A and B are shown apart, each in its own frame.
Chain A
Amino acid sequence: MRLGIIGAGQSACTLATELIRGNFDGEILVFNGEPHRPYQRPPLSKSWLKMPADINILPLLPEPIENHASIQWIGEWVKLIKPDNGEIYTEQATYRVDQIVLATGTRARRLTIKGLPPETGHVIRTLGDAERLRQHIDDAKNITIIGAGFLAFELAATLDHPDRIIRIVAKANRLLPQVSLKTADRLVGSTPASTLVDVKIESFDTVSKSLITNHGPVPADLVIIAAGAIPNTEIAKRCGLGTAEGIATNEFMQTPHPKVSAIGEVSLHHQPHLGRSERVESISEANDSATTCAKRLLGHSEPFGAIPWFWSDQGQLKLQIAGLCARSDDETCLISTDTDSVVIRHCGDRVTAVEAINAPKEFMAARRLFERGTVSLSAIIKEGSVFDLLQSSRS
């Protein structure tokens, strides 16, 4: 079999690794349009930004996999696919394959801000973005981050420096809407940035180096836009397979076209833990969807059944989330000390997610319990903690 993987991020690399370790009988073409070897993305907003400039890359693949005889790396962007013929088109050439896997991921949402010079405005998604940002950090005294999510707060924690003022401005009326109010309060309370919500940005004034907003001018000699991600579905849409929301697949990562699969952040499939279809942006989704796809291509299909999990480093706080919940799910604070907190998200008695700050045992215990099935809030409260519930269910 000849397989074409479009993209070279986490899910593409996990797929290639799983196929090679599973003795895949065939050729794997990986289309990597970025001018870098496959690299790890999560550190870009964390430790990497503070590393010396000569450390350029955090490789994603082991050398024996990257250099494996069955992988062919193609450093070209894919423009178009024709699934019926198994054809992949780049600017330079046309490739014919038996199966196509779309691992096109997401890209940073960019905002058009009138008057903002290109060297002042940044996004952070790719290594190229991060390299460009790193060159400008040392000279910046006022850094303004536009966004309300984990990335905005991670960047603020990473860029914290006595000579800098960091501000987070958000269009939304609350910060960190993907976590509970309690968890968000803890993270907002510890950020080195000052924060402002309900912000409408009108323009950038190059004379005063400020964002002009409905709250007045916000000084910014560096602006980082961390306003979410957009799924790269254009290639799929051109052959009738994707929408702006993602590329729909079944529980084996297959699109309605028998020759096309989609994995990672771009794939939109049933999440058994949520009980509905949702596109999930996380390393766990990238790995688990790639593993599911690899099993199918190796001839021993198993449906996607993974429980999502997340983590985010925010300075001294380590947030870990087991499970996935709707933003409207209820929250019950289980543990809250000066340093740690554990918040249970739930629908009635059914627990949907556990948000743990500096509480890794609660996070890991929640993952183990979710893997076994439904977790009950009243059972956790009765035992006192998620960890104690796991222990009592073991004995």
Chain B
Amino acid sequence: MPQLNCIDPREQAIEVTFNPGETILQATNRAGVDGILAECGGGCSCATCHVILDHTWDGTLVGPSTQELDMLSFAVDPTPHSRLACQVELSDKHDGLSLSVAKRQY
């Protein structure tokens, strides 16, 4: 199975397998990656699944919607590579994608 390389807020590295078609949130939630709250359950309505993607993968991803960008502006210290894990759908070409979970969701 393809996998993501995640760094949690305590700098622990975790490899997370995913099924193509899942979102980052579905994969990291199943694996129990720390620090992703996702209070709304993945509805782009709470900005508590903030992750920072490795920018070298930018070309493989569909960019964020206006809704997601607006929600991200309320995340703690967003960066140009910040995303909401619930809004990023994964495919086979994302095998090996690296991301860090935001240090804080509030």
Contacts and interface: CB of A to CB of B under 8 A. Distances in A.
A binds B: yes
Contacts of A140: none
B29 A360 contact: no
A60 to B, nearest CB: 8
Across the A-B interface, the 4 shortest Cβ-Cβ residue pairs = A62-B32, A64-B32, A311-B45, A360-B70
Nearest to A65: B32
Contacts of A40: 41-42
A144 interface: no
A208 B83 CA distance: 51
Contact of A42 (B32, B43, B47): B43
A191 interface: no
Contacts of A318: 44-45, 67
Interface in A282-302: 283-284, 287
Contacts of A42: 41, 43
B71 A364 contact: yes
B89 to A, nearest CB: 12
The B interface, classified by DSSP as helix, strand, loop or mixed, is loop
Interface string A161-195: 00000000000000000000000000000000000
A361 interface: yes
Contacts of B45: 309, 311, 318, 320, 360, 363
Interface string B38-72: 01111111010000000000000000000100110
Contacts of B32: 62-65
23 contacts: A40-B41, A43-B42, A62-B29, A62-B30, A62-B32, A62-B33, A63-B31, A64-B32, A65-B32, A283-B41, A287-B39, A311-B40, A311-B43, A311-B45, A313-B43, A318-B45, A318-B67, A320-B45, A360-B45, A360-B70, A361-B70, A361-B73, A363-B45
Interface string A355-383: 00010110111001000000000000000
Contact of A364 (B29, B31, B39, B74): B74
Nearest to B37: A287
B74 A368 contact: yes
A59 B67 contact: no
B82 to A, nearest CB: 15
Interface of B: 26, 29-33, 39-45, 47, 67, 70-71, 73-74
A320 B44 CA distance: 10
A294 B48 CA distance: 20
A364 B43 CA distance: 14
Contacts of B47: 364
A40 B26 CA distance: 11
B67 A358 contact: yes
A107 to B, nearest CB: 20
A313 B42 CA distance: 12
A247 B71 CA distance: 35
Given A40-B41, A283-B39, A59 B70 contact: no
A65 B74 CA distance: 29
Contacts of A311: 40, 43, 45
B75 to A, nearest CB: 10
A360 B41 contact: no
A59 B30 contact: yes
Nearest to B26: A58
